[in-house]
């Protein structure tokens, strides 16, 4: 049964990616250092003197700007929160100037003041801002503090600190320096900390040199943290290729199954890939074994691909091993095609492989009928035999949720003309929806149908009515004359009640015997 509607591509990041972005780019939210409050990148001496005198309360440093001790005192005043109303933006500019003039002061102040307060200050915003500028302007000194501080002082903090080390990558030269810095200190770090550092470096390098970022990630064993970040790196590679900045990564043909899945599952990567070369999405999907865990990725990629290349999409689906999840994907992709491109729909699917032809026709009709039932019915007249049956069944199921009364009318006329066989599941499903919306009218419709079709329709009506108003349904049954359709309706009520209300179920069993 077709029960899916075309859905838009997922645009949300998963929770793992959000966690990574927090972990490896915890200071990115502070990155607009030079734009805060629409003020200039650096503050002139005169302006800075004014800010200092009025906001920092550190006149001793203002009077002797070359006095390192005054600068150190000012750092302590700001971090302690005693800065007489200093804003976060002013604090950033203060640290920015120190970084430009004398970055060694960051390490000096840290050594003098921090070790015993490390854990207490870990989540303090002012302290974290200090660390961000320390990491930015004196990366070697910052790394030294990380790897040489006693474990008891750095417990549960080294991961955050490592992410800061690699948060200010600006060019290829920075990437090389950062990699060398990590290599230099690698013996002092745990495997987990090395991984965090690599993730942070790759995240920062992604937009600058995505190929280098990809290689950095490949140095780490595959894990759930790398997957979404790798997808982000591939996104940058694809964007660069689309803009003509760089050619598409040559090693795209050599991606592992996991890398292929990471690329295709991240945001709009599959769409970008198809825009570059419509064959590439299919090629990467062929690297991946279809499972229940990745079926959504297949659906999303192929729903986009089918609007670009129908034959390629359905040839690929035909090549997949027959399975329930393959059928679900065929259904979803076909519905998307019918919903989004109903023009010349039969010509679009005329070359669909025979083994999936009827499934595709059913799905396409479902999608088309979601917008235009009459158009779908006209298309069905161009078909014969089982293909017409499949198309009509799809159209009726597709429209039933929108207008069950009109769908029931069409279904009734088809039965009267006896032009084509319609599967019993269609009568059940249309009856169910009709029974939810207009139960009395639906029951009357079902009882007018002959034979098995009428009984299936009544079974569906009963299910829908029970879901919406079981008491009203029971009252209606009490007033009905004996008939095969009423017997079917009572049987549905017994099935519903036998586990939740055995006494009532037994009453309706007796009622059913009397009716028979």
pLDDT level of residue 85 (50, 70, 90 thresholds): low
pLDDT level of residue 86 (50, 70, 90 thresholds): low
| Intra-chain end-to-end CA distance of the chain, in Å | 32
- The answer to whether residues 242 and 276 touch, using CB atoms and an 8 Å cutoff, is yes
Distances from the Cα of 254 to the Cαs of 15, 85, 283, in angstroms?
28, 57, 11
Question: What is the predicted pLDDT for the residue at 153?
Answer: 54
What are the CB-based long-range contacts (under 8 Å, 24+) for 370-376? 370/5, 370/335, 370/338, 370/339, 370/398, 370/399, 370/402, 371/339, 371/342, 372/342, 373/398, 373/399, 373/403, 373/406, 373/407, 373/410, 375/342, 376/342
Question: What is the predicted pLDDT for the residue at 154?
Answer: 55
Question: What is the predicted pLDDT for the residue at 152?
Answer: 52
What are the DSSP calls for 242-260, one per residue? HHTSSPPPGGGGG--HHHH
Whether the pLDDT of residue 5 is over 60: the answer is no
| Matching residue, tokens 């109903």 | 342
Question: What is the predicted pLDDT for the residue at 457?
Answer: 98
* Secondary structure element (H or E) that encloses residue 396, with its range: helix 385-400
Cα distance between residue 2 and residue 5, in whole Å: 9
Chain mean pLDDT for the chain: 82
Counting residues of the chain whose pLDDT is more than 90, the rounded percentage is: 49
Domain ranges within the chain, ordered by starting residue: 419-516
Lowest mean per-residue pLDDT among 161-165, 168-172, 396-400, 406-410: 161-165
Lowest mean per-residue pLDDT among 166-170, 306-310, 382-386, 480-484: 166-170
Question: What is the predicted pLDDT for the residue at 139?
Answer: 87
Q: Is 216 strand, coil or helix?
A: helix
Per DSSP, helices labelled H in 186-323 are: 191-205, 210-218, 226-243, 257-265, 269-276, 278-285, 295-305, 310-319
pLDDT level of residue 516 (50, 70, 90 thresholds): low
SS3 content of the chain, % helix, strand, coil (to 5): 75, 0, 25
Helix axes 269-276, 295-305, angle to 10 degrees: 40
pLDDT level of residue 89 (50, 70, 90 thresholds): confident
Question: What is the predicted pLDDT for the residue at 417?
Answer: 85
Cα distance between residue 278 and residue 344, in whole Å: 22
Q: What is the pTM of this model?
A: 0.72
pLDDT one-digit tens code per residue, 171-205: 888 888 888 888 888 887 888 878 888 888 888 88
Cα distance between residue 54 and residue 49, in whole Å: 9
Question: What is the predicted pLDDT for the residue at 79?
Answer: 80
pLDDT one-digit tens code per residue, 10-66: 333 343 344 444 444 444 444 443 333 333 334 344 444 444 444 444 444 434 455
Question: What is the predicted pLDDT for the residue at 81?
Answer: 67
User: Which two three-digit tokens encode residue 4?
Assistant: 């899916």
Average pLDDT over residues 380-402: 95
- The answer to whether residues 396 and 426 touch, using CB atoms and an 8 Å cutoff, is yes
Cα distance between residue 361 and residue 366, in whole Å: 9
Distances from the Cα of 102 to the Cαs of 112, 135, 161, 178, in angstroms?
16, 14, 21, 21
């Amino acid at each position: 049964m077709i029960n899916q509607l075309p859905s838009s591509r997922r645009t949300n990041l998963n929770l793992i990616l959000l966690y990574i972005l927090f972990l490896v780019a915890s200071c990115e939210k502070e990155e607009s250092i030079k734009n805060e409050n629409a003020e200039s990148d650096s503050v002139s001496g005169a302006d800075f003197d004014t800010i200092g005198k009025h906001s920092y309360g550190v006149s001793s440093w203002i009077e002797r700007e070359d006095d390192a001790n005054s600068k150190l005192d000012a750092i302590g005043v700001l971090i302690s929160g005693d800065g007489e109303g200093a804003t976060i933006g002013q604090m950033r500019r203060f640290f920015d100037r120190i970084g430009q003039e004398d970055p060694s002061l960051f390490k000096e102040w840290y050594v003098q003041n921090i070790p015993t307060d490390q854990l207490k200050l870990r989540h303090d915003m002012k302290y974290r801002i200090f660390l961000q500028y320390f990491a930015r302007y004196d990366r070697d000194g910052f790394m030294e503090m990380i790897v040489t501080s006693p474990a008891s002082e750095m417990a549960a903090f080294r991961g955050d600190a490592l992410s800061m080390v690699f948060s200010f990558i600006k060019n290829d030269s920075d990437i090389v320096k950062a990699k060398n810095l990590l290599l230099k200190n690698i013996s002092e770090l745990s495997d987990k900390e090395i991984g965090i550092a690599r993730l942070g470096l790759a995240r920062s390098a992604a937009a600058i040199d995505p190929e280098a970022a990809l290689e950095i990630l490949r140095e780490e064993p595959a894990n759930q943290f790398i997957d979404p970040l790798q997808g982000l790196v591939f996104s940058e590679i694809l964007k660069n290729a689309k803009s003509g900045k760089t050619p598409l990564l040559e090693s795209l043909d050599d991606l592992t199954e996991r890398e292929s899945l990471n690329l295709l599952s991240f945001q709009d990567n599959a769409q970008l890939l198809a825009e570059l070369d419509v064959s590439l999405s299919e090629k990467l999907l062929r690297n991946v074994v279809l499972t229940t865990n990745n079926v959504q990725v297949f659906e999303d990629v192929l729903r986009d691909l089918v609007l670009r290349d129908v034959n390629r999409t359905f040839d690929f689906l035909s090549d997949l091993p027959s399975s329930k999840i393959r059928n679900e994907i065929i259904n979803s992709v076909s519905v998307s095609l019918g919903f989004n491109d109903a023009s010349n729909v039969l010509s679009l699917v005329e070359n669909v492989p025979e083994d999936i032809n009827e499934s595709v026709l059913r799905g396409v009709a479902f999608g088309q009928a979601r917008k235009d039932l009459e158009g779908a019915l006209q298309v069905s007249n161009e078909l014969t035999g089982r293909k017409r049956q499949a198309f009509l069944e799809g159209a009726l199921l597709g429209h039933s949720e929108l207008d069950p009364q009109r769908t029931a009318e069409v279904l009734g006329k088809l039965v009267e003309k006896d032009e084509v066989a319609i599967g019993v599941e269609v009568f059940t499903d249309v009856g169910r929806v009709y029974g939810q919306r207009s139960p009395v009218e639906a029951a009357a419709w079902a009882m007018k149908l002959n034979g098995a079709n009428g009984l299936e329709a009544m079974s569906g009506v009963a299910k829908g009515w029970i879901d919406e108003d079981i008491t009203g349904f029971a009252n209606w049954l009490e007033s009905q004359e004996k008939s095969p359709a009423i017997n079917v309706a009572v049987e549905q009520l017994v099935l519903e009640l036998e586990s939740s209300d055995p006494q009532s179920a037994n009453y309706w069993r007796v009622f059913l015997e009397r009716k028979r």
